[in-house]
Structure 1
Amino acid sequence: MPAEESSADGGSALAVVTGDQAPELTDDGKRAAEWFQDRGLAVDAVRWDRPVDWNTYDLALVRSCYEYPTDPDRFRELLAAMERADVTVCNPPSVLRWNMHKSYVADLAAEGVPVPETAVVERGAETTLEAELERLGLDEAIVKPAVGTGSEGVFRVQAADAGEFEDRFADLLADGDALVQAYCPDISEGERSIAFFGGEYSHAWNSPTTPDDVTRFEGDDHDYEPPESIVEAAATTCRAARDVLDRRDPFPYARVDYVRDEDGGIVVLELELIEPILDLEEAGAVDRFCEAVQSYFESANPELDQT
């Protein structure tokens, strides 16, 4: 049922926000859409980079706008438009706005979350990669765009070879801010991810890196199960972000990406709150995800009929 018809009938309309890579929903998105449709909601796939009358919708679920780093100003305009409209967004625009610039790791560090030693280098800064590595005291680092998704623009560098990467670093700074982060050796064993729905642990997996390039991944290991201490450390990361943002309630969905330190503890690489891949094929994950999202929507809109 289209959103307009649903609104006319007094029902609720949900926009699942997508993008160029998955304009008609990812496989996970289709599973979630079916879940909501089975409960009487009209569901539309709505691209983030197209004009939308957000007042047409009661609810919006931001899921696969993977291309937003190509036009971050337009994405910020989208968030502002959502805030002006009478639509409840999940995750909320203020959370997405904070999460889209990776300098948020400094906020997490200030709350006591273990993250790699990091320098945020502003666009156009008169500096060199060699100087930043020296200032941080790093022999090896990962360099990445401050606004980016996946491994786009990410590279690994050793201090001894910094001169060979200065042009690449300069190109990054010509386009936007950049992060220089300490290299974490455990990344050679893969990047581990934990999904939380409504603040509760759902499931985890490991994304093995390629032998010749730790910024690239080759599939997922769904048999990975983190120990309880790691799950709690990841949950603490989410709570720290809520403290930074002055939010009482848990995020409807969140993904914590991490590696282990030398003592087996956690080092948080990223906290994904905008468009994380959530691997909902895990048993029961679709239900857990959708129930958390529905609970969030219902708490924000007790007047809406979502049954």
Structure 2
Amino acid sequence: MKRCAILSMDSLEGYFVYDHLLEEPMSEAGWQLQTLSWREKDVDWNQFDVVLIRSPWDYQKDAKAFLSCLQRIEASSAVLENPLALVRWNIDKAYLREIEQKGIPVVPTLWQSRFDLQTVQRAFTHFDTDELIIKPLVSANADDTFRLDSSTLQACAGQLAEVFCQRKHMIQPFLNTVIDEGEYSLFYFGGQYSHAIIKRPKEADFRVQEEHGGRLESIEPTPELLTLAERTLAAIPYPPLYARLDFIRHGPGFAVMELELIEPSLYFNMDEESPRRFSRAFVEKFGPGQPACLSR
């Protein structure tokens, strides 16, 4: 059998992980999976045919070390997916400016290199909003993401200055549609649409991740949303093996919240055929291995 490493983290306790649903279809296609933490030292990546980035959900705590790990993988004989060039492009949320220049609607954003209280205060007027979102350009799992009104801004000013003093960050209007309607996620494997869900936060929260109490529902996206997703996928500079495209309703249509191309949950639990779709896209790119029943 061919070997594929699933790149993860030291401990997934407290996280919702569904990559085990890949084991059966990948094994049937002749691929053996082995999960490894990106923090493990002295791994011989040459022993794998492919390394699949899946759940290194703590990478933002040391992005430099994470990228160094990916560099070692790319220098080996293993193929890294998604590739390092795409990870470098996607790891900094400034990519949103690039796709916006290509005509893709994104949530309105102010881009900041260091924290400035007056700039944040003016952002309420700039966006004509009562609430703002501030988050780092390199982040995951809603870490260091703040939802602020004018009073909480004053109360949190010291904490914000400490978190973002020398850290690039983005300021956006808080869009109530994330609560009223939810955040849409569309999944693509090998450039082909697979499935879609809507994620809603728990009561009195704004974070849609399951780890924060978010609720999930499978949906059929509207033609309008599918068309935007196809345009968005085409704006990505390198073709991804897997992609999760996150959208929110904004104005008369939809806007991109984020493009998840590094370690997104692909929510294989929400569509029973999605693991096989992924496996087919994977095998189409890397070929089948020797089925387990023939490798003994």
Task: Give the TM-score taking structure 1 as reference length.
Answer: 0.83
CA distance 1:227–1:98, shift in 2 (3 Å): same
Listed as ranges, the matches of 1:135-284 within 5 Å are 137-138=126-127, 139=129, 140-159=131-150, 161-174=152-165, 176-188=167-179, 189-217=181-209, 218-241=213-236, 245=237, 247=238, 250-263=239-252, 265-281=253-269, 282-284=271-273
Deviation at 1:74, TM superposition (A): 0.6
| Counterpart selection for 1:43 from 19, 33, 47 | 33
Is the 8 Å Cα contact of residues 132 and 172 (structure 2) preserved in structure 1? yes
Instruction: Please list the CA deviations of residues 164-198 of structure 1 after superposition, one character each: whole Å capped at 9, or x if unmatched.
Output: 33223212214732211222221112211111111
Structure 2 CA distance for aligned equivalents of residues 36 and 118 of structure 1:
40
Query: What SS does the corresponding residue of 1:287 show, helix, strand or coil?
Result: helix
- Code of the residue aligned with 2:156 in structure 1: it is F
Matches of 1:14 and 1:68 in 2, distance apart?
Answer: 20
* Deviation string, structure 1 residues 78-102 (Cα, Å, up to 9, x no partner): 1211221111111111111211111
Provide structure 1 residue ranges, at least 5 long, that are not aligned to the other structure.
Answer: 1-10, 299-303
Residues 130 and 162 in structure 1, CA contact (< 8 A), matched pair in contact too: no
Q: Secondary structure, in 3 states, of the residue corresponding to 1:233?
A: helix
Structure 2 stretches lacking a partner, 5+ long: 292-296
Normalising by structure 2, we get a TM-score of 0.86
Q: 2:23 aligns with which of 25, 33, 38?
A: 33
- The farther-off stretch of 153-162 and 67-76 is 153-162
More divergent stretch after superposition (148-157 vs 160-169): 160-169
Matched positions, count: 281
CA distance in 1, matches of 2:176, 2:118: 20
Cα gap change, 1:239/1:291 in structure 2, threshold over 3 Å: closer, same or farther?
same
Alpha-carbon spacing, 1:153–1:20, altered in 2? closer, same or farther (3 Å): same
Compare relative contact order (CA 8 Å, sep 6+) and give the higher one, 1 or 2.
2
Shift in CA distance, 13/216, structure 1 to aligned 2, threshold 3 Å: closer
Identity %: 28
- In structure 2, the partner of 1:113 is 104
Q: Which moved more, 1:134-143 or 1:253-262?
A: 134-143
Cα offset for 1:283?
2.5
Aligned to 2:116: 128
Contact 1:103 1:146 in 2 (8 A): yes
Aligned partners of 1:133 and 1:233: how far apart in 2? 33
Tell me which of 95, 102, 113 is aligned to 1:104.
Answer: 95
Separation (CA, whole Å) in 2 of partners of 1:26 and 1:165: 30
Letter in 1 for 2:60: P
Q: CA RMSD in A?
A: 2.3
For the Cα contact (< 8 Å) 2:199–2:208, is it kept in 1? Answer: no
Q: Supply the distance in 2 between the matched residues of 1:26 and 1:262 (Cα, whole angstroms).
A: 32
Task: Report runs of 4+ in structure 1 exceeding 6 Å deviation.
Answer: none
Secondary structure of residue in 2 paired with 1:77: helix
Report the Cα distance in structure 2 between the residues aligned to 1:65 and 1:54, rounded to whole angstroms: 16
1:30 and 1:210, CA in 2 relative to 1: closer, same or farther beyond 3 A?
A: closer
Q: Aligned partners of 1:232, 1:199: CA distance in 2, in Å?
A: 14
* Partner residue, 1:79: 70
Query: How far is the alpha carbon of 1:104 from its aligned partner?
Result: 1.4
The answer to whether the Cα contact below 8 Å between 1:58 and 1:86 also exists between their aligned partners in 2 is yes
Residue 230 of structure 1 aligns to which amino acid in structure 2?
L
Query: Which whole-Å CA distance do the structure 2 matches of 1:76 and 1:174 have between them?
Result: 23
Q: Is the 2:208–2:215 contact (alpha carbons within 8 Å) kept by the matching residues of 1?
A: no
